[in-house]
Structure 1
Amino acid sequence: MAIGSGLGAQIGIAPESSYGTFVAPSKFIEFTKESLALKKTTAQSSGIAAGRLMALSSRRVVTRREAQGTLEMEVTNKGMGLPLQTLMGTTVTPVQQGVTTAYLQTHTLASVAGKSLTIQKGVPLTTGVVTDKTFIGCKITSGEFSCGVGEMLTASFEIDGKDVDESQTLAAASYAAMSPFHFGQMALKTGAYGAETALDGIRKVSVKIERPQDVERFYANQAALKREPIENDQVKITGSLESDYVATTLDDLHTSDGGTSLVWEFIGPIIASTYAETFRITLPVVKLDEGPPVVDGFGVVKPTFNFTALYDLTNLPKIEYISTDVTL
Structure 2
Amino acid sequence: MAIGSGLGAQLGIAAESSYGTFVAPTRFVEFTKESLALKKTTAQSAGIAAGRLLALASRRVVTRKEVQGSIELEVTNKGMGLLLQALMGTSVTPVQQATTTAYLQTHTLASTAGKSLTIQKGVPLTTGVVTDKTFLGCKVTSAEFSCGTGEMLTGTFEFDGKDCDEGQTLAAASYSNMAPFHFGQMALKTGTFGAETALDGIRKVSVKIERPQDVERFYANQAALKKEPIENDQVKITGSLESDYVATTLDDLHTSDGTTSLVWEFIGANIASTYFETFRVTLPAVKLDEGPPTVDGFGVVKPTFNFTGLFDGTNQPKIEYMSTDTTV
Q: Take 2:219 and 2:310, find their aligned partners in 1: how far apart are those partners?
A: 35
Question: Counterpart in 2 of 1:83?
Answer: 83
Q: Take 1:138 and 1:269, find their aligned partners in 2: how far apart are those partners?
A: 32
Q: Take 1:94 and 1:73, find their aligned partners in 2: how far apart are those partners?
A: 22
Question: Counterpart in 1 of 2:33?
Answer: 33
Q: Take 1:157 and 1:310, find their aligned partners in 2: how far apart are those partners?
A: 21
- Please list the CA deviations of residues 175-204 of structure 1 after superposition, one character each: whole Å capped at 9, or x if unmatched: 001100000000000000000000000000
Residue 160 of structure 1: how far off its partner (Å): 0.4
Count of matched residue positions in the alignment of Structure 1 and Structure 2: 328
Matched to 1:110, the amino acid is A
- Please list the CA deviations of residues 90-140 of structure 1 after superposition, one character each: whole Å capped at 9, or x if unmatched: 000000001100000000000000000000000000000000000000000
With the length of structure 1 as denominator, give the TM-score of the two structures. Answer: 1.00
Residue 289 of structure 1: how far off its partner (Å): 0.2
Gaps of 5+ in 2: none
Question: Counterpart in 2 of 1:43?
Answer: 43
Correspondences of 1:1-328 after superposition (within 5 Å): 1-328=1-328
Q: Take 1:54 and 1:294, find their aligned partners in 2: how far apart are those partners?
A: 62
Residue 251 of structure 1: how far off its partner (Å): 0.3
Residue 143 of structure 1: how far off its partner (Å): 0.6
Q: Take 1:259 and 1:149, find their aligned partners in 2: how far apart are those partners?
A: 26
Residue 61 of structure 1: how far off its partner (Å): 0.2
Q: Take 1:54 and 1:276, find their aligned partners in 2: how far apart are those partners?
A: 66
Large movers: runs of 4+ above 4 Å: none
Matched to 1:288, the amino acid is L
Aligned Cα root-mean-square deviation (Å): 0.3
Q: Take 1:70 and 1:299, find their aligned partners in 2: how far apart are those partners?
A: 38
Structure 2 residue matching 1:42: 3-state secondary structure: strand
Residue 21 of structure 1: how far off its partner (Å): 0.1
Q: Take 2:97 and 2:294, find their aligned partners in 1: how far apart are those partners?
A: 46
Gaps of 5+ in 1: none
Q: Take 2:203 and 2:93, find their aligned partners in 1: how far apart are those partners?
A: 34
- Please list the CA deviations of residues 207-226 of structure 1 after superposition, one character each: whole Å capped at 9, or x if unmatched: 00000000000000000000
Structure 2 residue matching 1:325: 3-state secondary structure: coil
Matched to 2:20, the amino acid is G
Q: Take 2:51 and 2:33, find their aligned partners in 1: how far apart are those partners?
A: 49
Identity of aligned residues (%): 85
Matched to 1:278, the amino acid is T
Matched to 1:201, the amino acid is G
